[in-house]
Structure 1
Amino acid sequence: MAEIRGERVSFSRDEIVPLHELPSAQTEDPIIVHCPAPRSRVKRTCKIVALFLLLVLLACGSAIFAIEGGAVDSTLSARAQAALNDAIGPRYAATVGSTVLRFDSSLRLALEARDVDIVEKASGEHFSRAGAMRIAIDPLALIAGRVSIKHIEADAISIDMAHLPSGDPVPLSQVRVDAMPAILEQAFQRLDEANGLIERTGTDSMTISGIDLVFPAAPGEKPLTLVVDGLVVTRSEQSVIEVKGEVSLDGRPAQLTATANAVNGVASSLSAKLTGLDATPFLLQRMENGAPREGLTGSLDLDLSAVRARENSEPRISAVLRQSPGEFYFDGVAQEFSGAEINVAYDFAKNSIEILKSQARFGPTSLPITGAVVDLNRLDPNETRPGYGLDLLVSGGVAAAENSTEEPTRFDLKAGGRYLSAARELQVDDMLVSSPRGTMAGSLMIRFGEQSPEISFGARLPSMEVTGVKQLWPFWMARNPRTWVAENMFGGTVTNGSIAVFIPAGRMHGPGIPLELDEDELRISFDIADARLDLPGHIPPLRDITGHFDLKGEALNVSVANARSYFPSGRGVTVDGGTFAIASTYTKPLMADLAVKVSGSADALTELANFQPINALKGTGFKPEDFAGGAKADIKARFGLISNQNPPKPTWNAHLNLDDVDLLPELSGRRFGGLTGTFDVDTEAARLTVKGTVDDVPADIKLVEPVGTASKVQRERVIKATLNDEQRERLAPGLSDIVEGTIAAELTWLDEHRQAVALDLTRATLSVPWLGWTKGSGIGATAKFELSSEGSRADVRNFDLKGDGFGARGNLTLVDDGLTAAEFSRVRLSPADDYSVAVKRAKGAYDISISGAVADIRPVITRLKADNGGNKDDAGRATIRAKLDRMIGFGDESLSNVSLLFSVRDGEVSSADFSGVTGSGQAVVSEMSRGNTISITSGDAGAVARFMDLYNNMRGGLLNLRLRAQQGGAWGGSIDVRSFSLVNESRLQSMVSTPVGKDGRSLNSAVKRDIDVSSAKFQRGFARLVYRNGSLAVDNGVVRGEQIGATFQGVLRDAGGNMGMTGTFMPAYGLNRLFAELPLIGIFLGNGTDRGLLGITFKLEGPFDTPKLTVNPLSLIAPGVFRQIFEFQ
């Protein structure tokens, strides 16, 4: 310390170091030295003031902190909830989520209540919910002891209107029109009270947003929600209160503005305007599926203006209601609504509500409306019943049906009546519609009750044009008949019209159940004259109609007394009567029944039946121009009227009575004419049943043609006729070789080329020429077959011939010149037959093949025997082949294992090969050698003779027959039969026993013994044969036996079936012929080779089966060569 000097040391500002930065202050336990400044009085005063201010600020800050920090929120919530419960009464319970006290941005004290719920105690349902409610209070006014509410806000408030307590509605009978002035004054008084409250509280504005009002809805339907958003209420210094904001109904916004003016604190006028409010939820009822049923769609604009009664102003109230375009629904049916403007004002002098000049538009229909509503006793002082007098006038209205192409109808309507409010009954006794097209007078009564109202309406139409009826018919009354009349009736006049509608109370059952009136509830009828009626599809309209329209409930019926119909083709028909009926206008699909009686030309009637939806000729191949003549028709049809309802396919039938009608085109190559009968057509087939001609042949005709590709009816064409040969050839050519004479024929069409033929052959002759079989006239027989023709060719298939003991089944082919082919699977021309036949014709030659078990060829043999050789039809070529197990001939003879090949060319035999076995087991063989020589050999000549019905008395014998063809179709040759016998030959017995000569001696007497010829045996028989032109001649014939012998010559059988034979019969031929063998004198004693000493000459002449025998008695006594003197020539 001693080293420190006491001189003064000065330091600059930069050299001064703070003490806490000195090294001594950096130690672990530094010593800090504070040197306080000297104190003064001013500073002390300032500190006191600052301390006070600090305390005030701390108090304010603490209050603000307490408010903003929520220190008082719980207390406020409890107090607010208790106060709210006291205010709403015992029915409801209130809960407050929280109550907050804060300062807003304008430093106003803001009280906010959050999550306020009001619940109905009994049900537990929420009545309302509030998200937040705020009140801004002026804090300075509050400090001064005044409560000044500067602003009110409400947000997120939801109120369920269904839980509001319900009160008794004001009876309409107590509401009078002349009470309007008092009601208006009360409304202004309420405005005065509200204005006074606003002034006292100092409230300058109010903002409401997010308020949801939930209105109750029917079960299963969505509740209706009204949302108030951005609604601002302000008050100006001139005491004008303005309201502006947005109101949304089910999410569709509308603008609301209102102004209330006051003079000296008293409300003087009020105006309000609501723009764009969607009124559909209030005005439209819907069905259970959500579809519209009744009411109106669209938005609503409302202008309301009211002036208070004052010393210098008269009271006034009026409203303008504007409805935007939309749809008007009644019972689920929509009608275009083009908008409306309704002007309403109250007449304080008349105490009536006046409907000023207004207008409503429904599409092209326009209704200028005026009217009035007044208390009923002001019209009639003696009237004691409460109610209103009503008056409605439409002047210069325009009515036009929707989508109508006709000129609209101008009309006036005047209606006057009353509404009895206590009885809830509307009475319109005087209703008159007048227009240039006619007049209508009517009345209306509606009685309201707990159920749907009772409605009674009646009207008379003395005379009105059809156009006027269509335009003035309300769209909701009998809408389906109205639609049909509007679309299908034109022109003409309605007379004697009447309308009667009665709907009992409770008859309208509500949404989802259509109003379907029965015949006791809806009746509309009127007569029609000179009108046009359009028919469904492409059917031409009926014109110049005289008829009657009748609607009873669901049943519509239009009866037509007479009318005309004209077609685009120029044809036309006359309607002699008919009906158009809809059995049920309520049923879907909507079906109609049409029945008309028409007359005219056949082509016109068929054209009428061919229009859609009938299409009677569709698929039949016929056209209207195919018919010529006169006819009458009954046409009936049932069809749907509305295509988008997917109706079933039309059903119909047309019945035509034809009178001498010609069918111009040919059917299957046939000409049909002179048709008189019926022609029926329906959805399945066209059926013609007439008498007429087919190819100029009288016949009964039945034709059936399917209609459409889906028809299951088979095409049918049946022709019945009795035909002679000429007529038969027209209808079934090519049968002349088989049938001759009158037949009853039935021809049935099978397809375009085939027809079934059924023949009654009783009166005809039936032949099988190549088998030699014939059925005579009078013998019952029928034949059925299928005949197909193409050009000159005719095919007979499934030929089935049936008769008593005969029949055949097979197929044939014919051309213009006769049979070309035939195949019979079974032939039975006699009871024993069982074989088949095939015939082919090629290049003029027939090839016939026969096969089977048994064939009775006796008809063939008979034909061969009867053939005189002069039939030129046999010329040509033919070949017969046969393979049969057994062949039956005459004389109970038959051949087995038969094989035959027989050919003829140009009438000359070219082949004749035959083989078979007789019943005795002997073979029969025939063959043709060198092309012109036939050799026949058999070990049983008698069986062959009996088989061929040539001779029945021969037994046994070895046959050798050789024939050689000669010029001109002749045959010549010889026959040699050995070792045979003749049994029971009556002609031999006649020769030996017949007395001859003057002495009456017989050959038996000459030889002095009875010559036994009952069974004559012969060693040999020989003769030369010539066959020419159907005649068989014998020459150098001789037979030699042990007992008798004979020589013969002549014609055995000529073309006429007669015999002319001569010869010599010689008894004891074994001894008698020895004289002829003697040398030299044998020539004289034996009369030549193979002749005896004694003999008798004879002659056989006459029919072959019963010839006459003649003998020369002198020849018996002339021996040997001298007998030639007495021989027959």
Structure 2
Amino acid sequence: MDAARPVALHALVPEAAGLETPVALHGWLDFRPAANPDMLQPRAAQATLALGQGAFVQADGSILWLRNAHAAVRADLDSSDGQAPHLDLTDMAAAFQAERDAPGDRDVTLAAHGRLEANDLLHPRHVSATLDAVIPRLDFATILQAWPYGVAKGARAWISRNITQGTGERLTAHVGVAGNDGWQHLRVTDVAGGMDAHGLDIHWLRPVPPMHGVDGHLTFDDPTSLSITFEHGYQEVQRDGHHVGRTGEGRLTAGQGSMRIEHLDQRFQTGDITVRMAGDLADAVALLDEKRLNLLARHPFPFTNPSGRTEVELRVTLPLRNKVAIDDVTLDAHARETDIHLGNAVMGRSVDHGNIVVSASTQGLTASGTLLLGGVPSRARYSMDFARNPAVHVTEQGHLTAHLTPQTAEGARIPASRFFGGSAAVDVDYGKRSDDTARIALALDMKDADVHIPIWHKPAGRPGNASVVIDMAAGHLSGVHDLVADGPDLDVRGHTEVHDGTVDALAIDRFRIGRSAGRARVRLPRNARDPYQVTVRASAVDLSPLLHGRHQPGGAPEPAPEPKKAGYHLPSAASGRVDGAPGQSWSVDLATPVLYYDDGRTLSDVTARLVNNGVRLTSLDFAMRGPSPATVTVRPDAGGRRLSARVDDTGALLGATGVMSHIDGGVGTLEGRFDDRQPSAPFAGTLSVGPFVMRDAPGMLRLVNDLSVFGWFDGQSASDFPVDHLAVPLRFQDGVLHIDDGEVGNRSVGATVQGHVDLDHDALDLNGTLTPAFAVNALPGRLPGVGRLFSPERGGGVLSATYTVTGPIAGPKLHVNPLSVLLPGIFRKMVE
């Protein structure tokens, strides 16, 4: 039969209905006598089948474009020798077009042979068949053109859908079928074979981006599974939407790996994937965050902007269906991360230059290694529990140990490097629970550190510890407690007050720092306009370390005390001078029975409230009982601030503070005003001191006093000089006190004073006049109109001696010019 159209025979052979190609059939049939002498029985047959160019429409509607095919079949039907009838496919070859009218160089060629055995070819019960085929080369993009529907149907569907690019070489396939109930119930009993593949694009879990450029070997393991071993290639990664701080496409280089697809005879398959990958950490995180994998859905990646190199050995077993739950996935991953960066790792600090080993499964994750946390060398370990547990339990745990030195603190921009030498160890313990609460415990071991903050010093080698516990809820701060600091002359206990995830106040329940002891509270600002508010209630406060620094950094022995620097510098905060941009406003409320301002000097029963607007001190209320009752107030005034001060015993205050030791008594007042319209905020006011006595007065001053009859009746010691009044108009600016037309004296002696006092450099430069018999001598100078002729100085007299006072404040030198007393009035001024 030549050039027949099998489609015309579909009524007799239904399977030929889809075959639209010319067919040529040639053969012979051998008969032998049957048991019935009138009949012949077929003994053997042979046929050669040839198909021309055409198409075969398969049961699923797909089309095989056939260029040509031929097959030789021999049938042995005689079972008299004990062998079952069988049919041998001895020679088969076919060429399939990649698509209709495609050129021949793209054809897929097939060579095959096989055997069919049956106990009866017409009415069989036991049937078995095998087919072996070889395809030298195929293109995975058009693999359906060479893979008939119904042959390894599951493998055909998965491969055609998920391996979309690449070439295969020397595909070998072995298929076995068998049945015990005739032709209608045959089943595939054996599938084997494989091929080498190059340049594959494998969609291993759509819509996860595919692996590209994979070289490997595909093996048909059995009728329901296939395996792919591969190397080379890379995994495409889409970074968008995966919270890695980058967009666009990334890639992970694929090393050796394998993929096994099981349950090919079912609707959904199972994938078992083992692969080694290397590349950027951000790409690895983006891959694990793919929704189809669902690995990070329950525990999202907690860091920002990951980067660095990662090498991963990954095994994933999961169902290959559209929706995958985390409980359906089995994960076993091991990774080595090198030189990584993780943003927002601990309290806003980043991890840099991390070298970490990670192991992960669907049950949990562990990680450990070395890193820089905020610039500080650290060692860390971390674990995460992925298991479902209805009870509240710990889901994350971490521990970090850091080594802090002045150099590492400086590199981490921690403002502590100038306050210690040596080293300190920092331990951080972290735990998070399934109810979204977390706790961070920080501990600082300062034994090997030499700490030298202004109010406390601990040499290296002596124990010193500090710790605090921080609670979090839903990612927000919920509490800070168990604030503890211990060490030599150090005992601090405290906590914080938290509202809406923000620390409102720091409460120091008790403190003992050197000679200071008490309790304190610091209320923190809510915004830039709010002030820091500090309240201190103490049994003693020691400010001497702030006023006289004595500690040497680096743990070195303390040198011999340096001579006390001269000067009485007034801080800018007190003077009101503007230095730099405005800062945060603050207030301090202090009450203590004892305030140390030097090693052996104290103020008693001190209360103080200070308010600073971030530029200067705007308000002050100060009071004390000893060494003399005193008050100081500062109040805002138009364009400035008004100061008012009173001291009940000026001599006691000057003596106790070491300024002057030879003054007794005297009620002192200071009234004046700061002019805040000028950057230096100069002060102008008047200092007044009531009756007081100057002990061990200079001889010249006593001599002038004795020239007056009033001095004979004062009843003072021969070395004392009584003063009835002191009134000094003064101006203060840039550390210098300027005095104009000051008056001081008693009935016997009057004096004028002018000049300046340089507080910063502890230098007096004053001059004036001494007027004996002041009560009488000064009268002509007060005459209207002509008084300046008799006394050119305010508060002077007709006969007065000029003097100068120079030198340090605590020990000045007085020089009197006695000859000037011989020149009355205006003549004295002319010859000065």
TM-score (norm 2): 0.49
- For the pair shown, the structure with the greater C-alpha radius of gyration is 1
Bigger RCO of structures 1 and 2 (CA < 8 A, at least 6 apart):
2
